[in-house]
Structures are given as C-alpha cells and as structure tokens.
A and B are shown apart, each in its own frame.
Chain A
C-alpha cells in the first residue's frame, strides 16, 4: 500500500491518492493517529503497526510513503480538545519522525530529526549545501531591524523538481545535473529548486523539500520511485 501522510484538508494529497488508487493508495491524516492500533517498537520495525483507512495493518504492508507536511499542526487536530492541541501536535510529530524513519520501504522524503518531509534546513543551509557541491548560488541577504520592511521575493527564472533520479522542468544544462547533486548531497528523493538568471549564468535561489506533484508525469515518477526504486527497477 502507498500511503500519503497529509492534512485531511490537503486537496492535492487527495488527488494524489485518487491517481494512485490502482496501486492501492490511502491518505493518512493526523486525525488517524488518534485511533487505537499504532505501534512502534524502537529497534524492531518489523513489529510496528499502523492504522490506515481505519484498518490496523503491519507497517511492513506499507510499500511507499509520500509525506506532505513538515510537522503536525495544532489546527489539523479539530477532534482534540483545544487546550491539548499544541502538545498533541508535538507528540504526533515526534512519533511520526520515529515511525517513518524506521520504515523499511521508500519514503519521500524520509524525515529528519527536525521535520517530517526531509531536512529541516533554512534557506541559508540549502545555499551552503549547494555551494559545497559546486552549484552557483544567489547570495541571500537578510536585513532584520525594528520596523524594517518585509523581504522581497526572489525572481525565479527556472524551476526544477527532482524525483528520484529524474528531473522535471526547463532542463537547461547544467541545471539538471546540479539539481541531482544537491538532492544527493541532502539525501532526499524529492526536491524543488528555483534558479535565477544572473550575468554570470544561473544561480540557485530557492529550495523546497516538499514541492507539489501537480502534473501526471511527476505523479508517475514519484509512484515509480516509491514502488520500484530510483531507476524504475525494483531494488
């Protein structure tokens, strides 16, 4: 079963589950964590159990995971007493970080200690990681002072999405190569990148570890990655 972890109100997640229905896909929202049956034993992932679509199942029945939020938010927990929502959201996030990290199947993206959808990096960390692997980067400037105006948005000329070893978007060389190398350096299978055009050429400006999969070819690539591995071959 493919499982999409997302808010119950996430329309894109619902569309993904519909598109993946022939491959047995289901949505798992934070509300599903308020259901008896979840079990996670540290060091014994084979004994874990999940509750997906109301059914208790061994975690080994999950064959792939797509995660669409970096953390469970209190507002996702309408059925929890409002006084407890902040605490329950923190506990559910901490649980999912451990649970999803231990799954033997492919996870897009596997959680980090700080986020459910991959590295909990700030923009500056992505730029430094990119610079370390030789990708030209646009210097990010932050100027923080009382009553200062808000930062202006960066003009992105080219957007790419990495899914496994495949890269989608305007594939001007060597952008695809750079995109793959940053995804590899960060240890993620899913990554969105935005490049600006400078006098010296393209420079990385924005990175999103949870880009939208809003086109059929990207959905297919994500599904193939989850089910068969990076090159379309079952590992």
Chain B
C-alpha cells in the first residue's frame, strides 16, 4: 500500500496520485481536510506497528510500503482555523500531525521525504556547508548583523543578493543603492548575503537514480517571481553532463532524499554553482513546462519499480 499524505488539491500530490491510480497501484490518500474523522494508533519499541483510520478505510501501518508526504501546516487548515486553538479539533489535528511525523521517521517504508532529511533546508548556510563538503561550488556567503561587513562583502564581489536564512520563503533580491538607508536594520537580525553569480539557472530533479534537468531562461534575479518583476521565463528540458548528473545523484543520496530538487546555475565560463536543495519540490511547475515525466518517476519509486 502506498500512502499519499497532504491535500488533494496540491499539484505534486495530485499528479502522483493520478499516475498511481492509472497504474492500478494500491494507494490511499490521507486527505488532511478529513482530519476530524482520522485516528492513529502507533506502537514503537523493538518494532513499529499500528493502525491508521482514514475517513473511509483502516490501514495497518506495517502494510504501508511507501509514503509520499506533502503535508500542509495543520494549523492553517480551514477546519482548524474555524475551530480555533482551544477546540478539541485543534488539539486533535496537532496530535495527529505529530504522531504521523513520528511514524514517517521510524517506519521501514520508503518515505519521500523524511522530515529529518528535509531539515537541512531550514538553514540555508548550514545546507550550503553540506553542499561545499559534498564537493559542489556554492556562492560565497556571509550572514551578518554588521552593516559594514555587508558593505565590504558587496565591495569584494561587486554585486550581492540577499535572502532569508531559514526555510521561510523569500524573494532573492540584489542589494542595490536603494537599500543603503535600510542596511542598518540588519543589526536587528542576522541577514544572509551571497555573491551574485551571473549565469543560467537549472533545476535538477533527482528521483531515485533518475535525473531530470531543466534550463530556465529568465532575466529575473529570482525566476520563481519573474512575472512580478516584469520578466519573462522559459523552461526547457535538457541533459546534464554525466559527471554533474552523478554528483547530483550522490548529493541527494548523501542528504537521504529519495526525491530532491537541486538549484544550479551555470556561469558563462561553464562553472556550475549549487544554490540549494529543495527537499519537497513543487515539480509540477517544471513538468508542465518541459513535459518531463517526473510524476511518473516518483510514482515508480513509490511503487518500488
């Protein structure tokens, strides 16, 4: 049995679900909207076992061979928002989420991806150190509360970008003269600055041993928000050099991520930089643009094929 955990409207979850159903794989959906009807009994000691009661099914945990986990923050679910933090449903939602998180950490099933493996993405400079240790080039990075250090860093590289340190999503922006007046604010909170690397962006999805690469053509500093900044974006499937593809596979394996989205940039001189590894890639954005069969690959991995 393959368990999909999340919201049925989530693009990646929906895409993988559709492939699994079309292949008649045994699959069940843990729809977070139906959290009130769910129950979980988990036993962990020398073995791991238990039962998961869904709204229309009861599943033995030991019968689950693979999990695709894309849960949303339960506190943001409409049902919990309506109920409020003092309601039994709120406590139930948090307890169920915590118990499921515990189970996916210890189950022998294949999990895409375990929370502990995803955690490195919660500290970008921490993950960057791992990327460097894995032999990948990462842009020189400074995290500081010192405006003078930030200015000296920009002086050194000519152009730098700033972005959040944590997993909180932020728009990558170039540090310009218009920020000069606000630079003193960084003394309130450490801020991450990174050498600006000119070049072409690539998104590489590693699914088990399969590598899908896409070239992203955009003039935006952060192509994910190209439309907002008035820039165009063009995404095309491409093939990586075998050595680079091998390094991407190895990196995902070292991070214990069966499925990873790796952000690379190739400079005009042909040097590759790695920016980060996304442990829960919203791959449908790239799949729709390139026609790459990423959902099929994820489904195959889950099905053990």
Q: In the complex, what residues of B have CB within 8 A of residue A138's CB? A: 45
Contacts of B22 in A (CB 8 A): none
Chain B residue, CB-CB nearest to A125: B105
Flag B163-176 by CB within 8 Å of A: 1 or 0 each: 01111100000000
**A contact residues around B146 at 8 Å (CB):** 36-39, 49
Query: Which residue of A84, A124, A131 has the most chain B CB atoms within 10 A of its CB atom?
Result: A124
Residues of A within 8 A of B237 (CB): none
CA distance A94 to B166 in the complex (A): 5
CB-CB under 8 A for A144 and B89, given A42-B138, A90-B167, A122-B101: no
Name the contact of B125 in the complex, choosing from A36, A98, A112 (C-beta under 8 A). Answer: A98
In the complex, the answer to whether B164 meets A91 with C-beta atoms within 8 Å is yes
What's the minimum C-beta distance from B208 to chain A, rounded to whole angstroms? 22
Of B10-18, B184-192, B217-225, B281-289, the one contacting chain A is B184-192
Cβ A94 vs Cβ B144 within 8 A: no
Contact with B along A93-115 (1 / 0, CB 8 A): 11101110110000000011110
* A139 at the B interface (CB under 8 A): yes
* B154 close to A (CB within 8 Å): no
B81 sits at the interface (CB 8 A): no
**Contact A124 B46, beta carbon cutoff 8 Å:** no
The reply on B122 being an interface residue by CB < 8 A is yes
- B303 close to A (CB within 8 Å): no
Given A35-B145, A42-B141, A124-B105, CB of A146 within 8 Å of CB of B41: no
Residue A80 is within 8 A (CB to CB) of chain B in the complex: yes
Interface residues on B, range: 35 or more
Q: Say which residue of B42, B92, B145, B187 sits within 8 Å of A146 (CB atoms).
A: B92
Contact with A34, one of B122, B168, B187 (Cβ below 8 angstroms): B187
- What A residues does B101 contact at CB under 8 A? 122
B123 CB to nearest chain A CB (Å): 4
Of A40, A99, A111, A121, most buried by chain B (CB within 10 Å of CB) is A40
One of B69-77, B126-134, B197-205, B294-302 contacting the partner: B126-134
- B168 interface neighbour in A49, A90, A127, A137, Cβ under 8 Å: A90
A70-82 near B? 1/0 per residue, CB < 8 Å? 0000000000100
- Inside 8 A of A98's CB, which chain B residues have their CB? 123-126, 128-129, 143, 165
Return chain B residues, CB-CB under 8 Å to A148: 92
- Chain B, Cβ-Cβ closest to A40: B143
| Bound: A80/B141 CA distance, A | 25
Measured between alpha carbons, how far is A56 from B147 in the docked complex, in Å? 14
A140 at the interface (CB under 8 A from B): yes
B120 within 8 A of partner (CB): yes
Of the candidates B41, B142, B187, the one whose C-beta lies within 8 Å of that of A40 is: B142
Report B10-68 residues with CB < 8 Å from chain A CB: 36, 39-46, 48, 53
A144 touches B40 (CB 8 A): yes
B126 and A141: CB pair below 8 A? no
* Known contacts A43-B129, A101-B129, A140-B43; A33 and B122 CB within 8 A of each other: no
Given known contacts A97-B126, A102-B129, A142 and B140 CB-to-CB distance under 8 angstroms: no
Alpha-carbon distance between A139 and B191 when the two chains are bound, in angstroms? 44
Partner of B39, one of A49, A121, A139, A145: A145
* Residues of B contacting A101 in the complex (Cβ-Cβ under 8 angstroms): 126, 129
Inside 8 A of B88's CB, which chain A residues have their CB?
146-147
Q: Would you list 7 pairs from A and B whose C-beta atoms are within 8 A, ordered by A residue? A: A42-B142, A49-B146, A122-B102, A139-B43, A139-B46, A142-B99, A142-B102
Residues of A within 8 A of B (CB): 33-43, 49, 51, 80, 84, 87-88, 90-95, 97-99, 101-102, 111-114, 120-125, 127-128, 131, 137-148
* Other A-B pairs, 17, CB within 8 Å; known A94-B123, A140-B45: A33-B189, A35-B187, A36-B146, A80-B188, A87-B168, A91-B189, A92-B190, A94-B167, A95-B123, A98-B125, A114-B119, A122-B102, A124-B48, A128-B48, A139-B43, A141-B43, A144-B95
